[in-house]
Structure 1
């Protein structure tokens, strides 16, 4: 039960059915068709074990019409069975069985039906039978009893004041009892599709609890104290602006000012900086870091991979080292004396800027004065990791300011729910000089044509990424692996340097390969998704993604963003292996139709739903189990309007609502 998170009576009461089975009526076999889900009563005529084609247990059941058996026969087939089955299915036993009707070689049959013995005239169920989400170890019968017991014990009194409830919604107790035990005459469509008023009440309650928790987290954070970071006139911030070899876009200037204003306040900033691939988030982060360092505080920048962290490191060193800033480098691969020296610089405050992977938040890393933490690709980090980073300043009774960056823009409905406690800055403008990327979708049988195009591009002096999804053969997925593709492309492109980059290579080897590609000596780079974010090679103009149907939409968009970073016309080729699922088809269609990251994000949310889209923010738990952001916009808007009124006027009710729905997840909501 713990695995399902069912610790309290209210958790059991809120563990709602996935679907329902109708045991309130019997289906006459004469009226049944193949594929129908049957509920049949009959008497066992014969039961035996057969050994061909494999050992199985065969039961012949004669339909019971009234008290007497009829003449229509049904075969029950068990491939997996126990000795007790023979006793249960003794000839003459009356049974009710449920399952899908199939046409078999020896007549109509049900394979592995659900069954129970009954007496003649036994009453049928009066309610639909709930089927609950469960784990393999927990049978439905046990879970039904546990849920029914929890439902009877749980306190389901009305927490919300009547004047704050939307009109027309039934009471919570009535809604829950109906969803656990629906009467036989209920509209199955309305209840299965979650359109019934009882479902509307549950979804509203859940959305309200979520909005309350986010609003409360935001208000609690506003009570915390953070260092007031303000740059001085003619200080580091202005020097960096003057030294940059390019002009900021209007959008970059706007968001840099929003962040600088936040940093100057005594409350900790909790801001998300979002922008499409290549919109220039790193320079905005550098300007924020300059404000912090100018005020005498340290800044930490954490990225999910060493390649991306190193790219940030190189850019920041290039911009800030000439201005006298010392930048420390901390990753998992940095060990021994080099690491010890870096840790000493961080602890003493000599290193004003610390760049690295999750190694930045390890226990032995101590900051002298951490004022600003920047997390790149924040959805790739777990909630616990973000909490660890914030605790690095806890001893000083101050919180660091937090700036999270994401190249996966957040659709509006998601910003209104999961990110309701964040301030969001959006870079909605790409730097000048970027060329549009043309996206082409081809079936895998046109691979040779794609290789020919790659040969032409290399001859022109362009560079090419070729991305594959796996490093080694998998029996489950018949995919080309990185090593094979590397060898093949090396053979068909003689005289061309073809590199290989994957996650299992030692960091020094990865860095060496990346340096050759970045420097232009290597023309083709075969890689896994380690190059997904942040890698910036302006001369790369072709991106080939093999088995594109295996990638998520946001991932495909990130990969596509590795090209088109210079002035050369660029192309992204998506190679897929059929047959495509509907999801795969939708993803490839979206990629071909738009290069707008915000539109991509909107479609990605539609395809995947918020749980997957959000990644680690919920620490693996979908915060919204019942509400659907695409369909329940009106309920969400209503919950957003009611939440502040409830928190202000009825704080005890607001706390009870949060506890009822979210229990022990509150710590994660604050991350």
Structure 2
């Protein structure tokens, strides 16, 4: 029996830990870790020919090396090149090894920005190295990689070069698939890591070079193949065919509603009903602007499922939103004889067990709640339809868990995902290529447009005066939203509490409520009930009111420190007003100076109420990875491609994906594995 070593594993160095943190574990990870920019160390510039403000590389003999103690302690080194011109090198931070390398008589090569100093030309903290008379220059541009403080560029360059040599970069794609004029993957990566001196830096920096195009095409193709695989795998699964009875719940609910459906609601309702009638699982995204009436469409879908003898579950990301759905659906469905169960974190003890039992024995035909719906203890007798509201706020694991609630019957539930953040077309083609998308592109009649005004913080008193006017003369109701300060929940709470006190003092005799994340669910519900009933004039809240809150009489929304909010979040908050016939106003108060991104957001809000235009601008500002939220569960699926600029490559990838899967299945599988690995699983949720 071989002897087992008991010696502990060698501890990892700081650079090794930093590399793991950056996700640089496999050789392919290193090969795909591309430079941010390049430095030109392929040529020397005589000191006399260098211009101020230029980044240049010079070489010369050290003629002076001394430490100066006047003012800050500094290392001053003077070099002279063959023309007799001198250059001063100034180091504020230095080590004894620096003095050794740059001792008088040594030849050194330095690179940095040339400045005009008091004692002539100088460089501050240039890069340097000792050289001999015949030390060759670099043969390619020097890459500068994304890194961290504990990961020196020299270490990273060596690691990447080694990974690039070892990485399996053989061609996975059959001949004729890659667009003409693009290099092989190996050639593309070799070029991008070590471009020749004559390379056009502009085409490298704007990612238009053919080497970049090859990487983008490969990445987009892998993503499209993965989406198509997920779609085909789902088509092979079985789901219950849900068809409502003539004169059944669906028709009864339509007849009982106190309003008529818009044309858009009718259209998407029919799309959903057709999906539910098929024996394959529906996987549909229902998107529509704030206030477009998605909830009633979801209720009609639930009625079809329940009428067919199956249960429905509706999951929302917050308790306030779940409760809004609960109240609406209860009001619509309970008079029709349906039993609705309510499951959230705040439902405890015997009441909770009663709800769980009702879901398990099938007596609760509809279960509404938060993440509590997907807990292991919660079982369904016959889950036929799962509805997820604000789907982008749930992680992949949570969506998969809801799907598996019917797995014991070898059937999948139908999935309807709802989003009030419309998905721009380019994003839908890429990240949601496996989904069917229904869009409610029409608002219910009677909604008044919301006027959005942007004010600097200095006009806060004027805003409070306007609130006093609105409350006193028109009995208006007002939201005042304080930002969520992620770094400090205590600061966030303090801000909300101080604002509440300020507005209470400014509005004597009027009820001013406070709503924040630290309150107990029962307290939140009580405050919301007062505001909804019209007994409260002003509600000071953190972003817990972002979605789902529906108070038609509320006509003024004030958002403080608006520059701290994302564009889609600002639009969601604004959507809490303008829900009745009263003209509504949204006031955005910002604290300057604003970044360019902040200016772009506030400008977009002032210019349009259209959620689809807001979404398009949000995508431009933030990019797809951040816009998508948890579809990727924090892992970006596209690192190199740009959805707007690379639309032709995306179209080519969409066209080729089915052909590759049909005719070259093994090659398609290898290609997806190389580019996505386990990330491909994210697309199945």
Q: Which range, TM-score by smaller chain?
A: over 0.9
TM-score (norm 1): 0.95
The 8 Å contact of residues 479 and 554 in structure 2, kept in 1 or not, is answered as yes
Tell me whether 1:355 sits opposite 2:368 in the alignment.
yes
- 1:367 corresponds in structure 2 to 380
Tell me whether 1:162 sits opposite 2:175 in the alignment.
yes
Q: Map Cα deviations across residues 199-243 of structure 1 (whole Å, 9 max, x no partner).
A: 111111111111110011100111111111111112111111111
How far apart in 1 are the matches of 2:109 and 2:195? Answer: 21
- Among 405, 415, 435, which residue is 2:418 paired with? 405
Give, in angstroms, the shift of residue 496 of structure 1: 1.6
Q: 1:62 to 1:441 in 2, by over 3 A?
A: same
Aligned length: 666
The farther-off stretch of 394-403 and 3-12 is 3-12
Tell me whether 1:438 sits opposite 2:451 in the alignment.
yes
Give, in angstroms, the shift of residue 472 of structure 1: 9.3
- Among 332, 336, 339, which residue is 2:352 paired with? 339
SS of 2:415's equivalent?
strand
How far apart in 2 are the matches of 1:614 and 1:161? Answer: 32
Q: 1:428 to 1:475 in 2, by over 3 A?
A: closer
Give, in angstroms, the shift of residue 354 of structure 1: 1.1
Give, in angstroms, the shift of residue 42 of structure 1: 4.2
Give, in angstroms, the shift of residue 198 of structure 1: 1.0
- Among 593, 596, 600, which residue is 1:579 paired with? 593
- 2:131 corresponds in structure 1 to 118
The 8 Å contact of residues 471 and 528 in structure 1, kept in 2 or not, is answered as no
How far apart in 2 are the matches of 1:479 and 1:26? Answer: 59
Q: Map Cα deviations across residues 448-472 of structure 1 (whole Å, 9 max, x no partner).
A: 1111111111111111111111469
- Among 405, 427, 431, which residue is 2:440 paired with? 427
Q: Map Cα deviations across residues 548-594 of structure 1 (whole Å, 9 max, x no partner).
A: 11111111111111100000000111111221111111111111111
Tell me whether 1:273 sits opposite 2:286 in the alignment.
yes
- Among 31, 34, 38, which residue is 1:20 paired with? 38
How far apart in 2 are the matches of 1:146 and 1:282? Answer: 53
SS of 2:466's equivalent?
helix
Give matches, 1:197-346, under 5 Å.
Answer: 197-346=210-359
How far apart in 1 are the matches of 2:63 and 2:519? Answer: 65
Q: 1:92 to 1:305 in 2, by over 3 A?
A: farther
The 8 Å contact of residues 471 and 482 in structure 1, kept in 2 or not, is answered as no
Q: 1:472 to 1:117 in 2, by over 3 A?
A: closer
Q: 1:109 to 1:521 in 2, by over 3 A?
A: farther
Tell me whether 1:636 sits opposite 2:650 in the alignment.
yes
SS of 2:226's equivalent?
helix
Tell me whether 1:491 sits opposite 2:505 in the alignment.
yes
- 2:14 corresponds in structure 1 to none
Give, in angstroms, the shift of residue 87 of structure 1: 3.6
Give, in angstroms, the shift of residue 3 of structure 1: 2.9
How far apart in 2 are the matches of 1:245 and 1:106? Answer: 85
Tell me whether 1:555 sits opposite 2:573 in the alignment.
no
The 8 Å contact of residues 472 and 482 in structure 1, kept in 2 or not, is answered as no
How far apart in 1 are the matches of 2:681 and 2:488? Answer: 39
Tell me whether 1:417 sits opposite 2:430 in the alignment.
yes
- 1:181 corresponds in structure 2 to 194
Give, in angstroms, the shift of residue 336 of structure 1: 2.1
The 8 Å contact of residues 328 and 353 in structure 1, kept in 2 or not, is answered as yes
- 1:387 corresponds in structure 2 to 400
Q: Map Cα deviations across residues 147-192 of structure 1 (whole Å, 9 max, x no partner).
A: 2222222232222223222222222221111111100110001111
Tell me whether 1:512 sits opposite 2:526 in the alignment.
yes
- 1:60 corresponds in structure 2 to 76
SS of 1:247's equivalent?
coil
How far apart in 1 are the matches of 2:146 and 2:626? Answer: 18
SS of 2:480's equivalent?
strand
The 8 Å contact of residues 64 and 79 in structure 2, kept in 1 or not, is answered as no
- Among 595, 603, 627, which residue is 1:589 paired with? 603
The 8 Å contact of residues 28 and 168 in structure 2, kept in 1 or not, is answered as yes
TM-score (norm 2): 0.93
SS of 1:424's equivalent?
strand
Give, in angstroms, the shift of residue 657 of structure 1: 1.2
- Among 656, 659, 663, which residue is 1:645 paired with? 659
Gaps (5+ residues) in structure 2?
1-18
How far apart in 1 are the matches of 2:210 and 2:490? Answer: 44
Q: Map Cα deviations across residues 104-131 of structure 1 (whole Å, 9 max, x no partner).
A: 6776654443332222332111101112
Q: 1:482 to 1:106 in 2, by over 3 A?
A: farther
Give matches, 1:71-110, under 5 Å.
Answer: 71-79=85-93, 81-101=94-114, 110=123
- 1:618 corresponds in structure 2 to 632
Q: 1:201 to 1:535 in 2, by over 3 A?
A: same
The 8 Å contact of residues 240 and 319 in structure 1, kept in 2 or not, is answered as yes
Gaps (5+ residues) in structure 1?
none
- Among 455, 458, 464, which residue is 2:468 paired with? 455
- 2:59 corresponds in structure 1 to 41
